[in-house]
Amino acid sequence: MKLYYSPNACSLAIHLLLAEIGKPYQAVRMNFADSEQYKPEFTAKNPKSKVPTLERDDGSILTELPAIAFYLAKSNPEKNLLPPGLEGEVRSLELLEYMTATVHMRGFTRIIRPNLFSFTPEDEPKAAEMGRGFVTKGFEILAPILGDQKFLFGDTLTIADCGLFFLEWWAARRCNIPLPASLQGHLARLLERPSVQKVLAEEGLAV
């Protein structure tokens, strides 16, 4: 399989999942600074011009973070990347969707790219502040779900934890947003995992 990713993007979650699974994969770095995601070589694979994009061994393409995460978990059941039963699966997808559609897209995107949400440069600080509000509210919702557990669904890492990781990483290392104590502990535990250290090194991100 090939994972098309951009360093320090939300594709970090899928990169981590592939490392956790431990099967061979190729990580293909996309240079967003050169607008590589809009070039024909990539849009032929994913016209959405987004990462993560997963090219499977049969050449088929899978897009959107929750869908890719669910596929990888279901196709590698021995790794226990989904909590058990239908209820566990839908609850993990519920969390992952909230993380990507709300905390990421409505929150962090406003902080990182405020120009996309502003008519004038003078409005950009207001957009960024609104984004911080979405992120802070998101962490207030996610922290008690984690509580004093090791991971979001107990003692086993799931796709939801991989989604939470890139949000925590962005808050702590990219946007200087304080994390609730439980999420800070979660981030610290993940940073000790060999899979996380491997992925950060592959993406050129300093621990």
Q: For 62-108, what is each residue's pLDDT tens digit?
A: 999 999 999 999 999 999 999 999 999 999 999 999 999 999 999 99
Per-residue pLDDT, 196: 97
The tokens describing 95, both together, are 């969390």
Percent of the chain with pLDDT over 90: 99
Band of residue 111 on the pLDDT scale cut at 50, 70, 90: very high
Q: Is 136 exposed, middle or buried (0-12, 13-18, 19+ CB in 10 A)?
A: middle
pTM of the model: 0.95
Per-residue pLDDT, 207: 74
What are the tens digits of pLDDT across the range 41-55? Answer: 999 999 999 999 999
Torsion over CA of 103, 104, 110 and 112, rounded to 10 degrees? 130
When the pLDDT of each residue in the chain is averaged and rounded to a whole number, the result is 97
What are the tens digits of pLDDT across the range 140-184? Answer: 999 999 999 999 999 999 999 999 999 999 999 999 999 999 999
**First and final C-alpha spacing in the chain:** 26
Q: Are the CB atoms for 172 and 135 separated by under 8 Å? A: no
For residues 104-126, average pLDDT: 96
Strand order in the sheet with 61-63: 26-29, 2-5, 53-55, 61-63
Per-residue pLDDT, 206: 80
Q: What are phi and psi of 75, to 5 degrees?
A: -85, -5
Band of residue 123 on the pLDDT scale cut at 50, 70, 90: very high
**80: left (phi > 0), else alpha (psi -120 to 50), else beta?**
left
**29: left (phi > 0), else alpha (psi -120 to 50), else beta?**
beta
Q: Which domains does the chain have, with CATH numbers?
A: 2-79 (3.40.30.10), 85-193 (1.20.1050.10)
